[in-house]
Amino acid sequence: MNWTLDKSRPICPQICELICVAVANGEFKAGEKLLSVRDIALLASVNPNTVQKSFEELERLGVIHSVRCSGWYVNQNTDAAKKELEFLRVRKTEEYLAAMSQLGCAPDEIVNLINEHLGGKNE
């Protein structure tokens, strides 16, 4: 997994996003033990407290859980990760559309720009 993060955005949500995507897409399997907080902090070049906060948020969302003295594990039911991923996709799409609207783009212009960016795919 690539732990490269965008330093211009808050780090905790990015870590949550990366793990949700990995769980939802099956890169991290149900019941699988995650790397330790310290290991992820080293890989991502962030403070371990930041990773810990991200793990706690993911636990609150029902994506992962902790086992005392053992570590963090992906929940057996990965529906929470899939639900969170869908929420993130919708939110980012809404943010993009709002930004494009502020730039004066009409819906058809936005579609054209997307198609051009994708090289004419999905037309």
**Which residue in 7, 85, 81, 12 sits closest to 52, CA to CA?**
12
CA atoms of 21 and 35, how far apart (whole Å): 16
**Which residue in 38, 44, 37 sits closest to 59, CA to CA?**
37
- State residue 58's pLDDT score: 97
- Domain annotation covers residue 63: yes
- State residue 89's pLDDT score: 95
- State residue 18's pLDDT score: 96
How many domains are there within the chain? 2
- Give the rounded distance of the alpha carbon of 74 from its chain centre: 14
How many other C-beta atoms lie within 10 A of the C-beta of residue 28?
24
- State residue 1's pLDDT score: 84
Helix or strand holding residue 15 (H, E): helix 11-24
- State residue 119's pLDDT score: 85
Structure tokens at 31: 């019941």
Structure tokens at 7: 């330093």
Whether 17 and 72 share a structural domain:
yes
Whether 85 and 104 share a structural domain:
yes
- State residue 90's pLDDT score: 97
Q: pTM of this prediction?
A: 0.81
Structure tokens at 6: 């965008």
Parts of the chain with a pLDDT under 70 = 120-123
Whether 64 and 101 share a structural domain:
no
Cβ 54 vs Cβ 12: under 8 Å: yes
- Domain annotation covers residue 5: no
Cβ 20 vs Cβ 84: under 8 Å: yes
Whether 50 and 97 share a structural domain:
no
- Domain annotation covers residue 72: yes
- State residue 62's pLDDT score: 96
- The tens digit of pLDDT for each residue in 5-24 reads 998 999 999 999 999 999 99
